[in-house]
């Protein structure tokens, strides 16, 4: 496995590949992509699906975040709190799909929030008169008002303020909409009240309705609830490899990893119910929604992926590799995750159609790679890109690296990323790698097969969409080749 890593010549070659992919990506990040004919096309940025919540009242902020996390359509949005310091830092607007503001606003923050809205952002004011941000005055009995405003860059904007709901009895304004007519920015001001530590269930339902009907935010349906049902997992590999693994378990047919217990059993045994904390793992039958034959037809490795745990649904596959010493090259492949985690403990969306895996590698500390463990994340990212582009006909596909270890399409749309943790065990490092690549789900952002379709349109090609099992196997092939 580590023959390539022991060779400085080979290592330098891969570093050159890594540098070239990153250099090309940096050009894209500057908004210019140079093609082979030296023509230049402009890239547009893709907006990640973050929903941010700003409130100085902590109980209200926590309740809003908790409600959104429980209620939003699965795997479409991530929800985070936004602090005053972060608002002033202004690093958040381009990565925000919607902003919820509760309570009164500091004057120093008003301009930043207004600028976000004026340049196409979606904003909801909860018991906070956000129309004040846009200098629109008191709407009172007026139904519609048009104003001309300037953003922080001095650019002019025309906004339209409209009363869309009033109290039934007093006829006072209860919901106001503010629209920027060119950028399609939209702000909604509501007088919904949230009282800390009291039952706000009714108001939360109103809030969800406003987010859905006025700002286009998508919430769970009954179908979504049915889809998130825990099922048996499957142990995939040769009989010899599976027997060897099971024989070394400290508790017969059981592996406890963090808060999750894996119970290995045959199809003829009494199979326990699957749940968030306990998953039966069938050892002698293949899954119905994962072709083991297709996977092994493309797999050319000696170690990586030769023992695989396939999980239709799990909280996070990183729990498995991070809480046990497993065979070198062991892979956990989740079809979906309910609590995927990215770098810096960021939420990681894990929809169906995303090719995800967690991998455990054992790296000798006296090897060149063992002395440069931070390189692992870059080499894994390179393996993912090569797993896509080294397939016949796909070499010109604009899938590249973005520092330090993200994978982007066309320089503007994030396709995937990596998380790595490691610990020392004697003379080796046990390195746990979590990867996710959006293969075939067009929501919430671009996927690999969308990039292929766009490439076919622009180049007049007929490249086929990549298959789930095929892509995973090809990525494992490239990772093992690099290492």
pLDDT digit string, tens, across residues 48-57: 589 999 999 9
Fold of 50-223: Rossmann fold (3.40.50)
Asked if the model's pLDDT at residue 169 lies above 70, the reply is: no
Band of the pLDDT at 36, cuts 50, 70, 90? very low
Cα torsion through 474, 302, 258, 81, rounded to 10: -20
More confidently predicted of 346 and 166? 166
pLDDT value of residue 227 = 66
C-alpha torsion sign, points 436, 439, 294, 288 = positive
382: its two tokens: 């390179």
Which of 134-148, 269-283, 405-419, 468-482 shows the lowest per-residue confidence on average (mean pLDDT)?
134-148
- How many degrees, rounded to 5, is the angle at CA 197 between CA 195 and CA 203? 45
More confidently predicted of 452 and 201? 452
Average pLDDT value over all residues in the chain: 84
Beta strand segments in 71-219, E: 78-81, 96-102, 122-126, 144-150, 156-166, 173-180, 186-190
Asked if the model's pLDDT at residue 43 lies above 80, the reply is: no
Q: 3-42+229-482 — its CATH code?
A: 3.30.930.10
Ranges 64-78, 87-101, 133-147, 189-203, most confident: 87-101
More confidently predicted of 104 and 438? 438
Which of 101-110, 209-218, 278-287, 363-372 shows the lowest per-residue confidence on average (mean pLDDT)?
101-110
Q: What is the pTM of this model?
A: 0.74
Domain chopping of the chain, boundaries = 3-42+229-482, 50-223
Mean pLDDT of 56-83: 89
**For residues 101 and 93, what is the distance between their CA atoms, to the nearest angstrom?**
14
Mean pLDDT of 122-145: 70
The predicted-structure confidence for 300-322, as pLDDT tens digits, reads as follows 999 999 999 999 999 999 999 99
Coil, strand or helix: which one is 390?
coil
Band of the pLDDT at 142, cuts 50, 70, 90? low
pLDDT value of residue 410 = 87
Asked if the model's pLDDT at residue 146 lies above 60, the reply is: yes
């Amino acid at each position: 496995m580590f023959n390539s890593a022991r060779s400085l010549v080979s290592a330098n070659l891969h570093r050159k590949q890594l540098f070239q992919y990153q250099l090309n990506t940096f050009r894209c990040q500057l908004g210019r992509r140079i093609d082979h004919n030296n023509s230049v096309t402009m890239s547009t940025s893709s907006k990640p699906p973050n929903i941010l919540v700003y409130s100085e009242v902590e109980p209200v902020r926590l309740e809003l975040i908790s409600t959104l996390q429980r209620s939003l359509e699965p795997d479409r949005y991530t929800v985070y709190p936004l602090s005053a310091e972060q608002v002033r830092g202004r690093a958040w607007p381009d990565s925000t799909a919607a902003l919820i503001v509760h309570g009164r606003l500091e004057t120093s923050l008003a301009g930043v929030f207004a600028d976000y809205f004026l340049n196409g952002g979606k904003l909801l004011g909860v018991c906070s008169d956000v129309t004040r941000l846009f200098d629109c005055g008191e709407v009172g009995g007026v139904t519609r008002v048009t104003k001309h405003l300037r953003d922080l860059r001095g650019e002019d904007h025309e906004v339209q303020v409209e009363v869309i709901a009033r109290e039934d009895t007093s006829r006072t304004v209860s919901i106001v909409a503010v629209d920027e007519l060119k950028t399609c920015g939209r702000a909604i001001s509501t007088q919904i009240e949230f009282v800390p530590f009291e039952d706000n269930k009714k108001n939360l339902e109103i809030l969800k309705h406003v987010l859905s009907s006025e700002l286009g935010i998508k919430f769970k349906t009954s179908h979504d609830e049915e889809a998130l049902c825990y099922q048996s997992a499957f142990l995939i590999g040769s009989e010899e490899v599976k027997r060897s693994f099971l024989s070394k378990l400290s508790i017969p047919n059981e592996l406890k990893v963090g808060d999750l217990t894996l119970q290995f059993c045959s199809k003829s045994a009494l199979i326990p119910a699957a749940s968030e904390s306990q998953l039966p793992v069938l050892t002698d039958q293949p899954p119905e929604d994962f072709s083991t034959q297709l996977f092994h037809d493309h797999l050319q490795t000696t170690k990586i992926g030769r023992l695989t745990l396939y999980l239709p649904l799990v909280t996070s596959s990183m729990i498995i590799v991070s809480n046990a010493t497993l065979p070198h090259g062991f892979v956990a492949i989740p079809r979906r995750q309910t609590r995927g985690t990215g770098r810096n403990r960021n939420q990681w969306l894990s929809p169906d159609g995303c090719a995800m895996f967690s991998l455990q590698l054992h790296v000798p500390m006296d090897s060149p790679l063992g002395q440069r463990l931070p390189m692992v994340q870059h080499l894994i990212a390179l393996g993912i890109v090569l797993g896509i582009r080294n397939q016949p006909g796909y070499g010109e596909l604009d899938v590249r690296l973005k520092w330090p270890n993200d994978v982007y399409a066309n320089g503007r749309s994030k396709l995937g990323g990596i998380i790595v943790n490691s610990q020392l065990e004697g003379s080796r490092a046990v390195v746990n790698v979590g990867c996710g690549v959006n293969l075939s789900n067009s929501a919430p952002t671009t996927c690999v097969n969308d990039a292929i379709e766009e490439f076919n349109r622009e180049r007049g090609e007929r490249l086929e969409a990549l298959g789930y099992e095929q892509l995973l196997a090809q990525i494992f092939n490239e990772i093992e080749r690099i290492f």
